[in-house]
Amino acid sequence: MKQNISITEFILLGLTQDPMKKKVVFVIFFILYVGTLAGNLLIIVTIKSSRTLGSPMYYFLFYLSLADSCFSTSTAPRLIVDSLSAKNIITYNECMTQVFALHFFGCMEIFVVIFMAVDRYVAICKPLRYLNIMNWQVCTILIVLAWIGSFIHSIAQIILALRLPFCGPNLIDHYCCDLQPLLKLACMDTYVINLLLVSNSGAICSSSFVILMISYIVILHSLRNHSAEGRKKALSTCTSHIIVVVLCFGPCIFIYTRPPTTFFMDKMVTVFYTIGTPFLNPLIYALRNAEVKNAMKKLWHIKITSESRR
């Protein structure tokens, strides 16, 4: 595809231009990013090492933690490094790569959250058929479809981005490359491309959110027929999932389902779902899930025991 560009690099304005505030940004987001990697890595290692976390729900949680780690890595390191730089330059190719990674792992996260909702629906509403419906072959196929779907979505975003001609200025009023801020720099009428963006990213976020909320309403309604202990356990799990759905989809809907207008909170909303949500997900799943906490304790106990025997 022919690229109609006359500039080869962009300048990211970041979250702030104030030198003191940039130092604060470095400290805050360095801690958040390290916490995100540590929390998600702990969940990944725990699920892989524990025999008690062998259900499909934890299979999907493994891939959610993997997607969260990669999703945060697509933006956080750049934001952290740029907070120490005077001029934050990103090349055209690096910018397009970031657009691809941002949408690939973001879409992967959305698919996995949907599969986790399907898993909970089958486990609670059709418990007798759960093992037959959510067998390992089905789970593997779903994850493969998630990878393929995420790739197709990201390729669509890149095609839209490559169609944008840039002839100056090259200042991106954001801390990362995405289609919304890039549309403001394009030397063309971006109405059609923005419409395609809304019908792609916006439609995926909105429709997925509606489907997920309906599914959880059905799940919660079906809990009437369960025992008090079963209701408590199912309600705890579903509450965690609903919190993740709201945190994940709310900001995405705000960013990708509107005309190409700029609001003062755009950057903070993007920060929340690209860095904040991946940081909170391990806390939500680990602190609210007794099985995960017990598996982590056993893993830690085994490690300490093995170290003491050496």
| Helix or strand holding residue 171 (H, E) | strand 171-172
- For 118-155, b where at least 16 C-beta lie within 10 A, e where not — what string? bbbbbbbbeeeebeeebeeebbeebbeebeeebeebbe
pTM value? Answer: 0.87
Per-residue model confidence (pLDDT) at position 239: 80
Q: Helix or strand or coil: residue 166?
A: strand
Given a cut of 50, whether residue 1 has pLDDT beyond it is: no
> Per the domain annotation, does 4 fall within a domain?
no
> What's the distance, CA 301 to chain centroid?
31
> Per the domain annotation, does 129 fall within a domain?
yes
Per-residue model confidence (pLDDT) at position 105: 95
What's the DSSP call for residue 78?
H
Distance CA 78, CA 176 (A): 8
Give the pLDDT band of residue 247 (cuts 50, 70, 90).
confident
Give the pLDDT band of residue 2 (cuts 50, 70, 90).
very low
Tokens of 23: 């130092």
DSSP 231-293: HHHHHHHHHHHHHHHHHHHHHHHHHHSS-S---TTHHHHHHIIIIIHHHHHHHHHHHS-HHHH
**89-91 vs 9-12, strand pairing mode:** antiparallel
* Residue 200, C-beta contacts closer than 8 angstroms, at least 6 positions apart: 153, 156, 157, 160
Given a cut of 50, whether residue 76 has pLDDT beyond it is: yes
Per-residue model confidence (pLDDT) at position 19: 87
> Per the domain annotation, does 259 fall within a domain?
yes
83, 90, 75: which is closest to 28 by C-alpha?
Answer: 83
Q: Is the CA virtual torsion 108, 111, 117, 123 positive or negative? A: negative
> Per the domain annotation, does 3 fall within a domain?
no
Q: Calculate mean pLDDT across residues 218-239.
A: 77
Q: Which residue has the tokens 């959510």?
A: 134
Q: Which residue has the tokens 């975003």?
A: 157
Please indicate whether residue 108 or residue 1 has the higher confidence score (pLDDT): 108
> Per the domain annotation, does 185 fall within a domain?
yes
CB atoms within 10 A of CB 301: 10
| CATH code for position 162 | 1.20.1070.10
Phi, psi of 172 (to 5 degrees): -95, 115
> Per the domain annotation, does 2 fall within a domain?
no
Give the pLDDT band of residue 258 (cuts 50, 70, 90).
confident
> Per the domain annotation, does 248 fall within a domain?
yes
Q: Calculate mean pLDDT across residues 44-71.
A: 90
Residue 219 is part of which domain span?
9-309
Please indicate whether residue 98 or residue 196 has the higher confidence score (pLDDT): 98
Q: Calculate mean pLDDT across residues 202-212.
A: 86
Q: Calculate mean pLDDT across residues 244-258.
A: 83
Given a cut of 50, whether residue 27 has pLDDT beyond it is: yes
> Per the domain annotation, does 19 fall within a domain?
yes
Given a cut of 80, whether residue 287 has pLDDT beyond it is: no
Q: How many domains, in total, are found in the chain?
A: 1
Per-residue model confidence (pLDDT) at position 304: 62
- Kindly compute the dihedral angle of the four CA atoms of residues 171, 180, 177, 281, in this order, to the nearest 10 degrees: 140
Please indicate whether residue 282 or residue 138 has the higher confidence score (pLDDT): 138
Given a cut of 50, whether residue 221 has pLDDT beyond it is: yes
**Considering the chain, what is the average pLDDT of its residues?**
86
Given a cut of 70, whether residue 260 has pLDDT beyond it is: no
